[in-house]
């Protein structure tokens, strides 16, 4: 008598259920980690923008409340380029004395509170 060894349908269903359970646990953690890393990268960009804006204002002898030209401020940002938000937002930063802002608000806002607000 020859016996064929193979997996039964029940065994395969149990393995698929375990894999599905592990995926259900891991995917939300991955999404949260991705959002957190995007938020941290964006806040770091805002910090760099704020530093460049302050340097430009010092060299150009601008006071709080003065408007600036984005291209002029970008010369004081590393690489002399307009920073890009990893979350797909856009930056608003051409007002001396106010913190730069990112347009992203969901799922987590990208908010920088720095020296422009006196909170350093």
Q: What is the pLDDT of residues 9-19, one digit of tens each?
A: 999 999 999 99
Q: CB 95: neighbour CB atoms within 10 A?
A: 16
- Whether pTM > 0.85 for this model: the answer is no
* pLDDT value at residue 92: 85
The C-alpha atoms of residue 102 and residue 74 are separated, in whole angstroms, by 16
For the chain, how far is it from start to end, CA to CA, in angstroms?
82
C-alpha triplet 80, 84, 87: angle, nearest 5°: 165
Instruction: Identify whether the C-beta of residue 35 lies closer than 8 Å to the C-beta of residue 107.
Output: yes
Q: What is the mean pLDDT of residues 43-55?
A: 89
Higher pLDDT, 104 or 108: 104
Q: CA 58: distance to chain centroid? A: 28
Q: What is the mean pLDDT of residues 30-55?
A: 89
């Amino acid at each position: 008598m020859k016996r064929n060894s193979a997996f039964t349908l029940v065994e395969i269903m149990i393995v698929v259920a375990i894999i599905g359970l592990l995926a259900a646990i891991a995917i939300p953690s991955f999404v949260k980690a991705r959002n957190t890393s995007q938020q941290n990268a964006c806040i770091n960009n805002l910090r760099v923008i704020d530093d460049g804006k302050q340097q430009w204002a010092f060299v150009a002898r601008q006071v709080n409340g003065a408007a600036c030209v984005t291209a002029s401020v970008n010369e004081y940002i590393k690489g002399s380029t307009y920073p890009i938000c990893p979350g797909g937002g856009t930056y608003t930063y051409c007002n001396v004395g106010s913190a730069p802002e990112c347009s992203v608000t969901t799922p987590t806002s990208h908010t920088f509170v720095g020296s422009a607000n006196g909170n350093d």
